[in-house]
Amino acid sequence: MPESPPPPEPLLRAAGLSRSFGALRAVDDVSFTLPEGGSLGIVGGSGSGKTTTARIVVGLERADAGEVRLRGRVRPARARGRAERLARAREVQMVFQDPYLSLDPRTSVERVLRETLRLHFPDRDPAPRVRELLDQVGLGARAADATPRRLSGGQRQRVAIARALAVEPAVLVLDEAVAALDVSVQAQILNLLADIRAETTVGCLFITHDLGVVRCVTDELLVMHRGRVVESGATARVLAAPRHPYTRLLMDSVPRPGWNPERIAAARQELSRPQSTPTPQEA
C-alpha cells in the first residue's frame, strides 16, 4: 500500500521560541502553527509574553532560542541589506493598537498608501491599487485626501490595515488592534478583518487580552501565562471547556450577572504565586 503524502507545510511555524530580558523569561518554549488563510489568537494578561512572541514573529525582537518558518523557510533573525528588509516586510506585516503613532499626522491617506506601494513595487502604477485598498477597508475615495488627525480612531485603524495589506503580506499580525476602540467600532473592524480573510489567503495572528475578539475572528487559540503556552486548541473548544486554571480565570474575569470580583482577585493572586517544587511525598 503506497504511503500517504506528508501533510502540507503550514504557512507559519514557530518552534521553541524563547526570549529573556535579564532574569525575566518573557517567552518560554512557545510553539504554534498558522495555516494558509487561517486565524490564530494568542491571549493572556499583561506580562504573559504574547506581544514579545508577536514581535519575534514579525522580526522586531530576536529570539534567544527557537525559529520561525514561513512556508517551510527559516526567517533569519536579521535582514541583510535593503532588498532583504523589504522582502521580509512583504512576508509579515503588523498592525498596532494605536495607529496614530505610526502615521504621519501631516500626510494624507492617499500619500501614505502611494509611498508604501512605490517602496515595495516601484514598477507599478500605484493609483489603481490605492483605490482598491481604500474600497477594501471601507474608506472609499472621500478619505483619500484626509490626514490622520481628521479621521476617527476606527478610520485610522482602517488606514493602518490598508497600509499593511498594500505589500500583499502572507501573514498579518494584529497586536491589540481593536483594544482602543469603542464597542461599535470594534465590531466594524472585526467584520472588516473577517471579510479580508474571506477575500484573501492572508493568515491572521491576533494578539489580545479580549476573549470576545478571539471568539469572533479566530479558528485556533493559544493561552499564554508567564511566558508559556498553558492551553491551546480550537477556539470554540477552548472557550466552551477550558482545561487550565488560568484559562478559566480569564473567562471568569469577564463581567456578567453574578460576577464576583473578590473571588476573581483571590484566584488571580493564587495563580501569581511562584510554583514550588513538590517533595517526593507530594510528587
User: Counting runs of H as helices and runs of E as strands, what totals does the chain give?
Assistant: 10, 10
The 10s digit of each residue's pLDDT in 33-71 is 999 999 999 999 889 999 999 999 999 999 999 999 999
pLDDT tens profile 198-207 = 888 999 999 9
* 3-state SS assignment for residue 137: coil
pLDDT over 70 at 216, yes or no: yes
Per domain, the residue ranges of the chain are 12-240, 241-271
Q: What is the pLDDT of residue 181?
A: 84
Sheet containing 92-95, strands listed edge to edge, beginning at the edge strand earlier in sequence: 92-95, 171-175, 203-208, 39-43, 220-225, 228-234
Cβ atoms < 10 Å from Cβ of 254: 11
* Mean pLDDT, the chain, whole residue set: 87
Enter the pTM of the model.
Answer: 0.86
Q: Considering only CA atoms, which of 5, 147, 146, 14 is closest in space to residue 74?
A: 14
- Residue 227, C-beta contacts closer than 8 angstroms, at least 6 positions apart: 25, 26, 27, 28, 30, 48, 49
Comparing CA positions, the residue from 11, 31, 16 lying closest to residue 72 is: 11
**Which pLDDT band, with edges at 50, 70 and 90, does 270 fall under?**
low
CATH of 12-240, one of 3.40.50.300, 3.40.190.10, 3.50.50.60, 3.90.1150.10: 3.40.50.300
Segment 188-201 shows an average pLDDT of 89
